[in-house]
A and B are shown apart, each in its own frame.
Chain A
């Protein structure tokens, strides 16, 4: 199932609606890569609240998406990792090193506001 991507000002919000197959994750990567360029987005929120499992492949893909978008000039934050899912990730030894995470959509927006503002201050 395709992940809808909404544009919200300078940000994109990819809100995962159901369990994702590997192909869906690859498609998400490609569409985010395209749209960050098309909309000149500064930040991307990926909402994974509905995911029941984040396994090694999903972790690798989320990390790859975040790093790829960073190279395109956008910050990524993953929001909504459920407690049980987080626990299973820790048990599997999976980390999202170098990727922003936040509790929910609201915290994710606040996170992007803080990091994108900080970046532009540095640039001045």
Chain B
């Protein structure tokens, strides 16, 4: 259950590919329809964040099993400009560019766990998990 599935994000078309992959993995894991859609929507938002700010990056999906529960982990990594103020970026309605400013805070609401690690000039890594209850 430790196989990582990687998908590269280079353009807006890859956003669709990434979320479909996430959808089929979540279904395989046993998530119900509503949760599968939530995972796919969260992937869509973090993938879009890569396209909008870093141009390209990678999304790694891993099926988790800690013995008592199963889940899916999604890591979105880029080597873009980084986020100077993560707290501000996570404010609902805050957008630096063309978005609605709901992408990252929205993705956080959709998932059970959500962390951002970002360094200016180095890039951003978003890790999020959803557990099957």
Contacts and interface: CB of A to CB of B under 8 A. Distances in A.
Q: Do A and B bind each other?
A: yes
Interface of A: 19-23, 52-57, 59-60, 83-85, 87-89, 91-94
Interface of B: 12-13, 15-16, 19-20, 23, 33-34, 36-38, 40-41, 44-45, 48, 92, 99-100, 102-103, 105-107, 109-110
A53 B16 CA distance: 9
A84 B16 contact: no
A21 B34 contact: no
B44 A53 contact: yes
A93 B94 CA distance: 13
B48 A56 contact: yes
Contacts of B99: 56-57, 60
A55 B42 CA distance: 8
A99 to B, nearest CB: 14
B44 A55 contact: yes
A63 to B, nearest CB: 9
B100 A60 contact: yes
Contact of A84 (B15, B34, B44, B48): B34
A93 B20 contact: no
A50 to B, nearest CB: 13
28 contacts: A19-B20, A21-B12, A21-B16, A52-B37, A53-B37, A53-B40, A55-B41, A55-B45, A55-B48, A56-B99, A57-B99, A60-B99, A60-B100, A83-B34, A84-B33, A87-B34, A87-B37, A87-B38, A88-B37, A88-B38, A88-B40, A88-B110, A89-B41, A91-B41, A91-B109, A91-B110, A92-B45, A92-B106
Nearest to A87: B34
B102 A94 contact: yes
A56 B12 contact: no
B36 A22 contact: no
Nearest to B101: A56
B45 A56 contact: yes
